[in-house]
Chain A
Amino acid sequence: MSDGHGIELTELEKDALTEVVNIGVSRAAISLRKMIGEHVLLSVPSLEVLGRERAAALLVQQGGDQLVAVKQSFSGAFSGGALLIFPQARSLELARAVTGPEMTNDEVVEIEQEALAETGNVILNNCLATMANMLKRPLTMSIPHIVKGDGTNLLAQAGDDQDDGDAGLVLFLYISFSVRERDLQGYIAMMMNMSSLLALKELLGAFIAETMAEDF
């Protein structure tokens, strides 16, 4: 999927990254389940190296163009942005789910933004921290921010603190999840620039070597 920029993940590295992301997201899903008390279904993570516009188009294709996201940037051996994304129309329902049945409608409306930010904080932190532990490199996470708009808006804001010397190419990780009982659907997306991909490739190499060593 690379446009010939020289950094490509091997099949085994992709496999390892999918595994690391899977475990991170599963941990996050357990947290979401605890917060709303309903079963959370996860898709298999998809990862691609592509341009920012294509990544934005992918988000719109999956979730429409009226999206709301909780965004956190992370930095360390590899850096980027992580987003928990929902259709705007469902964000109040998510807030209602995490605040519990004892709150009135007005109270939920009042706390909606904060509830989303904290939910994003828990989910994204769980996911990123688990990945950091597995890859054995600490990551620093920013305070969560709420961003609204279509895919382009969200991703532009997600990448605003990164150097753009890579012609806009990013490693884009994407997982959808749903809560059937509440008709909720959302996405966790992660975006890293090409210099981070290089660092990540090295860490994945070490992770693979260690996994192999344990096997024999």
Chain B
Amino acid sequence: MSVNVLVVDDSKLARINAGKALRTLKPEWNKVEAGSAAEAIEILGHETIDVALIDFNMADRDGLSLAAELRQLHPAMPIAIITANIQDEIIARAREINASFVAKPLTAEGLQGFLSGAALRLRSAG
């Protein structure tokens, strides 16, 4: 089964970094990019997404609000909030919607735990 990872970040540099980390850890997974929450919703309407990496600090709508919507639609999807905003409140809000928290700058090392967990969940579900 091929796995589709949705990367939502309004910064191109951040999406490039996420792509690098993904290629290192899961070279066989596909990356789908969205530059905003709206674009992410649009993509979700016509593509099957298995895993989501979502930036918190975005202009039109923040990543936690997008993640909450995503969680309602897909109760079991592995979702990670990616942000340099490491405040306790942000981490707590991510936990509330059953999303993981991964700190920016994103590195393969930092993403490894979340992706391994996600792979495990996908395997046991599929």
Contacts and interface: CB of A to CB of B under 8 A. Distances in A.
B87 A114 contact: no
Nearest to A28: B84
B99 to A, nearest CB: 17
A123 to B, nearest CB: 8
A139 B85 CA distance: 10
Given A129-B85, A129-B86, A132-B87, A122 B105 contact: yes
Contact of B84 (A98, A122, A132): A122
**Residues of A contacting B: mostly:** helix
A111 interface: yes
B3 to A, nearest CB: 25
B89 A31 contact: no
A126 B88 CA distance: 12
Nearest to A33: B105
Contacts, number: 58
Given A34-B105, A143-B57, A143-B58, A126 B13 contact: no
Interface in B53-110: 57-59, 83-90, 104-105, 107
B13 A115 contact: yes
B24 interface: no
Given A31-B104, A34-B107, A35-B105, A99 B86 contact: no
B87 A98 contact: no
B48 interface: no
Interface in A87-106: 98-100
A206 to B, nearest CB: 16
A138 interface: yes
Given A118-B13, A121-B57, A129 B87 contact: yes
A118 B14 contact: yes
B13 A99 contact: yes
Contacts of B120: none
A143 B105 contact: no
Q: How large is the interface on A (under 10, 10 to 19, 20 to 34, 35 or more residues)?
A: 20 to 34
A138 B89 contact: yes
A117 B84 contact: no
A126 B84 CA distance: 5
A14 to B, nearest CB: 24
Contacts of A118: 11, 13-14
A193 interface: no
A117 B107 contact: no
B112 to A, nearest CB: 14
Which residue, A121, A133, A138, has most C-beta atoms of chain B within 10 A?
A: A121
Contact of A111 (B13, B88, B90, B104): B13
Contacts of A139: 87
Interface in A35-87: 35
Nearest to A144: B57
A126 B89 CA distance: 14
Interface of A: 27, 31, 34-35, 98-100, 111, 114-115, 117-119, 121-123, 125-126, 128-130, 132-133, 138-139, 141, 143
Given A31-B84, A125-B104, 10 more contacts: A111-B13, A114-B12, A119-B13, A121-B57, A122-B84, A125-B84, A125-B86, A143-B57, A143-B58, A143-B59
